[in-house]
Amino acid sequence: MGLFAAGAVSGCGRGGEATTLNNIGKVYNDLGDRQQALACHQQALPIQREIGDRAGEAAALNNIGKVYNDLGDQQQALTYLQQALLIRREVGDRAGEAAVHYNLARIHRDQGNLDQAINELEIVVDLDRQVSHTGLASDTAMLHRLRQQRATTLKTT
């Protein structure tokens, strides 16, 4: 696809190019252009691998997984998210690990697997506390809502 002409972000170096691609991919995803988002993240991934940036690689994998989930391909999303999770743990990125677990929780919730979604969100909340994440309150609220939803579901069955 070649979003950038050769050298368009040359002042940033390869790492800067990959970060820029990931950031543009996130914007495209937020705008609802999933295919453009995927293309950007998929361009960033081999650059991150080439330069040995494991944290950047995990970010690209997480972003690709998130886009695949948004596209409705949950199996492909899980594949990428599991890879991201392994690397996040390997590099000790607890905040990044929480982000991956949150995305996994979204998939399980969407699949109707509330127990697994709750398990993932419990991990998110624990990690949020460990790193003093600003999203702790909203993640805790999401966990509470899912627990209420599960309780309601159990009562009606």
pLDDT tens digits, one per residue of 15-65: 899 999 999 999 999 999 999 999 999 999 999 999 999 999 999 999 999
Confidence at 153, pLDDT banded by 50, 70, 90: confident
Single residue among 24, 44, 76 that ends a domain in this structure: 76
Identify which has the larger pLDDT, 1 or 100. Answer: 100
- For residue 26, what are the domain limits? 1-76
Residue at which a domain ends, from 76, 104, 135:
76
d(C-alpha 38, C-alpha 29), whole Å: 8
- Which of residues 5 and 90 earns the better pLDDT score? 90
Residues 68 and 100 in one domain: no
Cα–Cα dist 6/87, whole Å: 29
Give 111-122 pLDDT, tens digit per residue. 999 999 999 999
pLDDT at residue 11, as a whole number:
52
| Pair 30, 99 in one domain | no
Cα 118 to Cα 81: distance, rounded to the nearest angstrom = 17
Total structural domains within the chain: 2
Cα 19 to Cα 24: distance, rounded to the nearest angstrom? 9
Q: Are residues 37 and 107 in the same domain?
A: no
CB distance 97 to 85 below 8 Å: yes
Q: Say if 60 falls within a structural domain.
A: yes
Count of all residues that appear for the chain in the document: 157
Residue 85 forms part of a structural domain: no
Name the amino acid, one letter, at 107. Answer: I
Q: Are residues 122 and 64 in the same domain?
A: no
Q: Of 28, 47, 76, which residue sits at a domain end?
A: 76
- Which pLDDT tens digit goes with each residue over 94-142? 999 999 999 999 999 999 999 999 999 999 999 999 999 999 999 999 9
Whether 68 has a pLDDT exceeding 90, the answer reads yes
Q: Of 77, 126, 129, which is closest to residue 103 (Cα–Cα)?
A: 77
